Amino acid sequence: MTKKHKHKADGEKVVPEIAESESSCDEIGEQLRAAEEEAKVHYDKLLRVMAEFENFKRRVVKEQAEQIRYGNEKLLEALLPSLDDLDRVLDHVAPDASEDVQKIAEGIELVRKSLLATLSNFNLKEVPALGHAFDPAIHEAIATVESEGHESGNVMAVHRKGYWLAERLLRPAMVTVAK
């Protein structure tokens, strides 16, 4: 550092202290380092907040897609007993029933198929059961019966159909399993 000389009004020279000058530089340097450290901390916080916000946006998009895909779940669950009733009516029509009863059964079958077609537009589909291997993830066994005509572990009777809503099991099929 060089010394600079200043003049007062009476002509006297004043020389600033070099030590004062160096300590103020050290102080400014320390303040700069502290400010840089604080900026680094705030930058790290900003990066974390930005990452959390991106995760939040992805989660919201995923939840919205799930809500759209499975939003009708409660309605579809409420309609399944009516579909079961149509199946039960058709199961109880005797093959040798009168012509009038056969026509009524045909009408009920048309209504059932129409309802199933409409529900399939909302990603509802039947769980495969009869003749398939028993799967506890999609079937609910209410009985096991010894049977020579059926392979052991296969579903031999369906008591209530099961349904999928897209990839989610809406209701398991109630079945009897051969042993």
pTM of the predicted protein model:
0.64
Q: For 59-95, write each residue's pLDDT tens digit.
A: 999 988 888 777 889 999 999 999 999 999 999 999 8
Residue 137, helix vs strand vs coil:
coil
Local confidence band at 3 (pLDDT 50, 70, 90 cut-offs): very low
* Both tokens assigned to 106: 């045909």
Pair 129, 150: CB distance under 8 Å: no
Between 149 and 8, name the one with better pLDDT: 149
Could you give phi then psi for residue 139, rounded to 5 degrees? -120, 145
Can you give the pLDDT at residue 140?
95
Over residues 20-36, mean pLDDT: 84
- DSSP H or E segment with residue 96: none
Q: For 121-178, write each residue's pLDDT tens digit.
A: 999 999 999 999 999 999 999 999 998 888 889 999 999 999 999 889 999 999 999 9
Can you give the pLDDT at residue 150?
85
What is the distance, to the nearest Å, from the Cα of residue 65 to the centroid of all Cα atoms in its chain?
A: 8
Residue linked to tokens 């409409």: 118
* C-alpha separations of 122 from 72, 87, 162, 178 in Å: 8, 20, 16, 33
Which residues, other chains included, contact 160 with Cβ-Cβ below 8 Å and sequence gap of 6+? 84, 171, 173, 174
Local confidence band at 16 (pLDDT 50, 70, 90 cut-offs): low
